[in-house]
Amino acid sequence: MASMTHDGPEITGGVDTHGLTHHAAVIDPVGRHLPDREFAATIRGYRDLLGWMPSYGTLIAVGVHRRLRRRARAGPGRSRRCGCSGLHAAVRSRPTPRR
């Protein structure tokens, strides 16, 4: 599996997708939570997110959580962007709870 190279520890990223924004976080090899941040759900936001994560180490994988909505397209786009960057992207989908 390819990774984004950077000096420092191996890190894993996680992304929770929403309609207009994505919330991203990184963890270190022993599971400690490193910083998290919100990004716009746009092409520029994806690029910023993928530039931000490796600033904490070597990014080896990204997990993407997406909620299934009638028009939800952010999760698939996000996972495609990770795939295009040579990263392993694991996508988890689940329906949005009814209120």
Q: How far apart are CA 75 and CA 18, in angstroms?
A: 8
Residues 44-61 pLDDT 10s: 998 999 899 999 999 888
CATH code (residue 20):
3.30.420.40
pLDDT at 42: 92
Instruction: Give a yes or no: residue 1 inside a domain.
Output: no
Strand pairing partners for 17?
22
Q: How many domains does the chain have?
A: 1
Residues 73-95 pLDDT 10s: 444 554 455 544 555 555 555 55
More confident residue, 68 or 46: 46
What is the C-alpha R_g of the chain?
Answer: 13
Instruction: Give a yes or no: residue 4 inside a domain.
Output: no
pTM over 0.85: no
Instruction: Give a yes or no: residue 56 inside a domain.
Output: yes
Instruction: Give a yes or no: residue 64 inside a domain.
Output: yes
Distances (CA, A) of 32 to 18, 20, 48: 24, 28, 23
Instruction: Give a yes or no: residue 5 inside a domain.
Output: no
The dihedral over CA atoms of 66, 68, 69, 73, expressed in degrees to the nearest 10, equals 50
Range of the domain at 52: 10-95
User: Does pLDDT of 43 surpass 80?
Assistant: yes
More confident residue, 98 or 78: 98
